[in-house]
Amino acid sequence: MREAPTRADLPGAIGSGIMVVIGAGAIWAARDYSDLGAVFPRTVGALLIALGIVYIVLVGLGRTRRAAAVDGSSVRRALVAIVMLAWGFTLGPLGFLPAGAAAMAALLLIANHDRWTLRTALAYGLSCAAVLGLLYALFKHALQVPLP
């Protein structure tokens, strides 16, 4: 009996294609570097191109396996990514406490799958505020980290 064909790893092929482009970009950028400074970038760039092409060929030949699909909400995933990026880039301008409070509140809203009640809102909100306050005090005053 023949084995059932596995699904082609299309995401892997797309990722490999991106790596081929990154490898080509690395080699192109290395043209301005000194001879010794360009050895590693060129070698690694060539490696990325070669391996990326090999993987795409393997996908074309049907000799790869696609990873199991992940379940759950893609919208929530995207929102967490956006909040974390926003947190990172507003930390300096807004300051540690305002940026932290806003980002933690947003993450709390995104991560909660249960129905909101006054009690859970208070309990979760106060818990996050306590964590923020405690870690702020620990880093700022006990460890003398100059937080923005």
Partner 1 sequence: MGSLDYLLAALTPWNLLLALGGVIAGTVIGALPGLTATMAVAVLVPFTFAMEPAAALIALGAIYTGAIYGGAYAAILLNTPGTPSSIATTFDGYPMARKGDGDLALTLACLGSVFGGLVGAAFLLVLAPPMATVALKFGPVEYFWLGLFGLTLIASLGEGSTIKGLIGGGLGLLLSMVGVAEVGGDIRYVGDFKPLLGGIDVVSALIGLYCIPVLIDLVATPVAHLESGSRVASFRLAEALRIIRRSKFNLARSSIIGTVVGILPGAGGSIASLVSYSEAKRASPRREQFGKGEPDGVLSTESANNATVGGGFIPTLVLGIPGTPPDAIILGALLVQGIRTGPTLFTEQAPIVYTFIWGLILATLIMLPVGLLIGRFAFRSILAIPKAVLVPSVALLTVLGSYAVHNNVHEVQQMVVLGVLAWGVSRMGFSASPIVLGLILGTIAERGFVQGHLIGGARGSVLAEFFARPISLAIIFFIVLGLLWPWWAARRVRIAKEKNA
Q: Which one, 5 or 111, has the nearer CB to partner 1?
A: 111
One residue of 2, 31, 61, 114 binding partner 1 per CB under 8 A:
114
For residues 23 and 45, what is the distance between their CA atoms, to the nearest angstrom? 4
Question: Which of 28, 60, 111, 137: binder of partner 1 (CB under 8 A)?
Answer: 111
Q: Does 72 bind partner 1 (CB under 8 A)?
A: yes
Binding flag, residue 77, partner 1 (CB under 8 A)? yes
- Let me know how long the chain is: 148
Determine the Cα–Cα distance for residues 80 and 12; give it in Å rounded to an integer. Answer: 24
Chain centroid to Cα 70, Å, comes to 16
Residues in region 44-63 near partner 1 by CB under 8 A: 44-45, 47-48, 51-52, 54-55, 58
Find out whether 23 and 52 touch, Cβ atoms under 8 Å: yes
Tell me how far apart the alpha carbons of residues 28 and 78 are, in angstroms, rounded to a whole number: 32
One residue of 8, 22, 24, 97 binding partner 1 per CB under 8 A: 22
> Of the two residues 60 and 135, which places its CB atom closer to partner 1 in the complex?
135
Report residue 64 as tokens: 């790869």
133 forms part of the interface with partner 1 (CB under 8 A)? no
Rounded least distance, CB 133 to partner 1, Å: 11
Type of residue found at 4: A
Residue 33 contacts partner 1 per CB under 8 A: yes
Strand ranges (E), the chain: none
